[in-house]
Structure 1
Amino acid sequence: MAAEILRTKWMAMTASIWIQCTLGGSYTFGIYSAILKSSQSYDQSTLDTVSVFKDIGGNVGVLSGLVYTAATFNRRRPDGRGGRGGPWVVILIGAVLSFTGYFLIWASVTGLIRKPPVPVMCLFMFIAAQSLTFLNTANVVSSLENFADYGGTAVGIMKGFVGLSGAMLIQLYETICPGDPESFVLLLAIVPSLLSVLVMPLVRIYETSTVDEKKHLDGLSTLSIIIAAYLMVIIIVKGILGLPSWANTVTLVVLLILLASPLLIAIRARRDNIEKPCYSPLVDNLEATTSGESLVVVEDKSLNLVQAMRNLDFWLLFLVMVCGMGSGISTINNIRQIGESLRYSNVEINALLSLWNIWNFIGRFGAGYVSDALLHKKGWPRPLLMATTLGAMTIGHLIIASGFEGNLYPGSIMVGICYGSQWSLMPTITSELFGVKHMGTIYNTISIASPMGSYIFSVRLIGYIYDKTIIGEGNTCYGPHCFRLSFVIIAWLSSGFLSRVCWCSGQISFINRSSRRGCIVDKRLMTCELFRYIMLYSAICVCIYILLFKFVINC
């Protein structure tokens, strides 16, 4: 019985969740950055350079996608037994990279090895961060394949736990080695790598579907919400009252118990599925259609990276991610400077930074879950929800630009939730547009949009305008004018959601017309339809740009 439970997609999901909970090393850079700076005699510019390689390593995952495709090629079986290949190969590489990178950083900080040159330290940081792409790719893509009918929910759960992982690792740090960032780096080297190696045999690809998938996925979703709420309460209580060491230990034990709970769901799912027939709601719903209308036939073909890059949809999705992810990460990277310019206290700023993980989780999990619900119940495509979140993100940026009292609270909540939603919607949309076979490679290539957008918005826009603003004011700027222009421009760029609304509306209306005529959907015709809406969007953007330019001049 135990062996049968271990060979289920639910146990694979549980193992992936556990791995995802340890991937927040990059999010905790602030804990050990000070000791890294002092031990290596870095100035702030050098430390920022090392941090850039952390961001590059954590976002450029094309190699991990290629490895995943090679490792899982022709290895998908109904019982999950994938021969010599499988997701475990990618997880093993990620575990080795994680241990190597963080261990070498720890050895450098503690003096175990000679002080490395800056380029070598950048390499250490890149290796450590690159492990995230391997582990994340294996978990996200395998979960999407295992739960194809509810891919949005599965990806949302995976991405949601990554969003919470930073807060979990901070809880581990404050319990095991509080005030000792050197030991925390060693912890980052050991815990993710060891856990990944222990559970990697459980992460497999299963091509079976049961009627109870939705019920048990809802159970995992509820559990993830409980964990997020628990972490939020801990963060708030610590910020207001503080916690003694024994209380930190108790909260960590409770957290570990909550993280063990997916085992119960896996056991229950196995028990419920023993006598259940295989079932796919999307396919069964199509077979049950008796309205007399012809169904839309969509060719099931997976594109490789080169073929996808020749597709207009790839570059549209990439552009959306530059705006959505780039503007979101630029906001959190500058939230401290924005708060200081608006005279927020350190306590308020730290609370905003800590709670960002929670808003990020809500976006990652919520967008995946809601997109599945809209798809199955209303037939609405996921890009429609992506358009909505980009529209809400635009409002969030404008709230930050407004500078009214307390604006960072609603602004950071809206931007954080909408930013997180991009991370769960993008992989699922990628699989639906280009297929699952090469999804890991394509998804990680599109993810490059995040650091690219961060550079454009943070360095070339926010940093440039801020430096121009402080001329004659010293090294620090105070007042809402310091970041107003930057976020008005970011809001305008993020308002590309209008094109996505047009895109979705065009797809829905075209598919409905085709289904009524009994036509087969031709992607070339859909692309032509899309070009018409892009032309409309371009005209709208010109009008918006003129209005915003006049507004900025008047300010």
Structure 2
Amino acid sequence: MVSRIQVLKYVGFVVGLAAKFVTGSIFVFNAYQDAIKTNFNYTQTEVELLASMLNVGLGIGFVPGIFYDRFGPTLTSGAGLIVSVPVYLLIWSTVKYTEFYSKRIWLMAIYFFLAGFGSVFTYMVALNTNVINFSSKHTGKIVGFLNAFFAGSPSVFATVYYNLFTTGDSTIAENQDFAGFMLFFAILYGIVNIFCMIFLRIYKDDVKDEDVFITSYKDKNGIVLDELTVAVNGNSKHHGDMEETDSDPGTNSQPYSMKQLMCNLNYHLFIWMFACASCVGVVYATNLTVTSKSVHLDKYNDKLTIIIPITNAIVSASIGIVSDIFKEKVPRLGIVIIGCGAFSISLVIVLLFADKYPLFIVATVFTGIGVGIIWSLCPTIMKELFSVEHLGRNWGTCLLLSAIVSFGAQEVFGLLYDEHVPEDMRNSCYGMNCVQEGYGVFVGVSVVGLILGAIILIRKRCCKRLSATDKMA
């Protein structure tokens, strides 16, 4: 019989899905960026600044993460409501004062920063609450489905934008109702945060399905080598001074202090790998319509802008299930490395064949695969390697680094694009050469992420071998 607590957990999960769906709207920027560029006469570098600040706002996730760890989901949702709704109303009002804002890009950038920052409060509530509420054996599935809604929502919002907020030819910026779209977001954020405040709680079952205990790894002289807090489902086995569990021997659920975390090499390798991979995905997705316009494929924007979200959603939903089932045979990190490889393949294709519509679609699908893998599995890996206790802080710090790297990456892309804009053109560039330099840089960035992921995987395997040697001794 299903208990009341279990029902409340599932209700919270459904609300979490809705919250993630709404917060995914920040990645629909590529649909309306041309309207911003035209209305305010911004250069591509200035438009990249707005996209970067939106992502930096999302990247200040450690602040809402720490806030959540301290005050819980209700107050965190309230904070998201207070920040998100007013800032979207401010952005909505900017089209009435285009001359004022065309000369004050810094003020518009602050608005977009706050829009991203407000969304991450809602993001953290949806992610952390459900990860805590459900057993660790379901973490991959829970995070996967949450990310599927987060990832898939831009395709829905892009479709809504092109069908409900445009008139006539949707490729003409003047026909796009950017302001109405921002008002729509203000209403959505208000509704979803109120629902989060009402329904998202941390629930504890009367009977715990996990027992937490302390175990020490000792050498044959009795000296403690490492002390781990391990969560098991009643399947621990004793071997001398060692505890062996059915969980991954490389999994450490011991809560780290911030100082310990900053001194942990695996953490640095992990967050830099994620930063490299995620910044490639952000730059590609943000500049998808810029690229299509440069190679005269912008008539397909309504189709191109939904490819990454749909692919991302499908991958996110499936990869969580697959990684939970096969995590003993196929490490999650190995799948993340495959995701990094998908980015490299995507960039090489678009670098050489962006002007070929079928190949442009293939490149975009590969980007969607990479984004789906890293955003679904990396929060799960973060929990498994560095404890669920400070997940908000740990994952938030990872998001911050990703946002900083993405900020620099987007500005680099914008500067390289603007260098090719002819003087007689209105901030627009046409031809493959407009985007090739930018994508060439990010091929290298994607390869760095691939290498860092491989290093972490090798280190984990070495640790397993050492653990096995200790057990035999």
Aligning the two structures, in what range does the TM-score lie when normalised by the shorter sequence?
A: 0.7 to 0.9
Instruction: Report what 1:162 is aligned to.
Output: 150
User: Within 2, Cα distance between the matches of 1:166 and 1:505?
Assistant: 36
Structure 1 residues 311-320 or 508-517, which shifts more? 508-517
Instruction: Report what 1:195 is aligned to.
Output: 192
Closer, same or farther: CA 519–90 of 1 in aligned 2, 3 Å: farther
Structure 1 residues 196-205 or 157-166, which shifts more? 196-205
Match of 1:136 among 112, 123, 129: 123
Closer, same or farther: CA 470–131 of 1 in aligned 2, 3 Å: closer
User: Within 1, Cα distance between the matches of 2:110 and 2:423?
Assistant: 39
Q: Is the 8 A contact 1:94 1:131 kept in 2?
A: yes
Give the counterpart letter for 2:389 in structure 1.
K
Structure 1 residues 410-419 or 465-474, which shifts more? 465-474
TM-score (norm 2): 0.77
Q: CA deviation at 1:5?
A: 6.7
- Secondary structure of 1:23's partner? helix
User: Within 2, Cα distance between the matches of 1:516 and 1:11?
Assistant: 46
Q: CA deviation at 1:358?
A: 1.0
Deviations 1:381-408 (A, max 9, x none): 3222111211232222222223284321
Give the counterpart letter for 2:371 in structure 1.
Y
Alignment of 1:139-288 (within 5 A): 139-147=126-134, 148-171=136-159, 179=167, 180-208=177-205, 283-284=232-233, 286-287=235-236
Q: Is the 8 A contact 1:294 1:516 kept in 2?
A: no
Q: Is the 8 A contact 2:59 2:402 kept in 1?
A: yes
Structure 1 residues 309-318 or 50-59, which shifts more? 50-59
Match of 1:320 among 268, 273, 286: 273
User: Within 2, Cα distance between the matches of 1:198 and 1:2?
Assistant: 23
User: Within 1, Cα distance between the matches of 2:2 and 2:119?
Assistant: 30
Gaps of at least 5 residues in structure 2 are: 168-176, 210-230
Closer, same or farther: CA 23–500 of 1 in aligned 2, 3 Å: closer
**Do structure 1's residue 442 and structure 2's residue 439 form an aligned pair?**
no
Give the counterpart letter for 2:145 in structure 1.
I
Alignment of 1:305-454 (within 5 A): 305-341=258-294, 343-375=295-327, 377-378=328-329, 380-403=330-353, 405=356, 406-454=358-406
Q: CA deviation at 1:128?
A: 2.3
Give the counterpart letter for 2:275 in structure 1.
V
Deviations 1:105-159 (A, max 9, x none): 2344457xx9796544433332222111100011111121122222122111111
C-alpha RMSD over aligned residues: 3.9
Structure number with the higher strand fraction is 2
* Count of matched residue pairs: 430
Deviations 1:329-364 (A, max 9, x none): 1122333343345x4532334422222211222343
**Do structure 1's residue 60 and structure 2's residue 12 form an aligned pair?**
no
Give the counterpart letter for 2:88 in structure 1.
Y
User: Within 2, Cα distance between the matches of 1:321 and 1:101?
Assistant: 29
Q: Is the 8 A contact 2:91 2:179 kept in 1?
A: no
TM-score (norm 1): 0.67
User: Within 2, Cα distance between the matches of 1:202 and 1:455?
Assistant: 35
User: Within 2, Cα distance between the matches of 1:46 and 1:393?
Assistant: 25
Q: CA deviation at 1:87?
A: 1.0
Q: Percent identity?
A: 21
User: Within 1, Cα distance between the matches of 2:420 and 2:237?
Assistant: 63
User: Within 1, Cα distance between the matches of 2:166 and 2:424?
Assistant: 39
**RCO (CA 8 Å, sep 6+): is it higher in 1 or 2?**
2
- Secondary structure of 2:381's partner? helix
Closer, same or farther: CA 172–192 of 1 in aligned 2, 3 Å: farther
Q: CA deviation at 1:161?
A: 0.6
Closer, same or farther: CA 288–178 of 1 in aligned 2, 3 Å: farther
Instruction: Report what 1:215 is aligned to.
Output: none
Q: CA deviation at 1:35?
A: 6.4
Deviations 1:421-448 (A, max 9, x none): 2112221122222211211112111112
Instruction: Report what 2:82 is aligned to.
Output: 96
Gaps of at least 5 residues in structure 1 are: 72-85, 213-281, 521-555
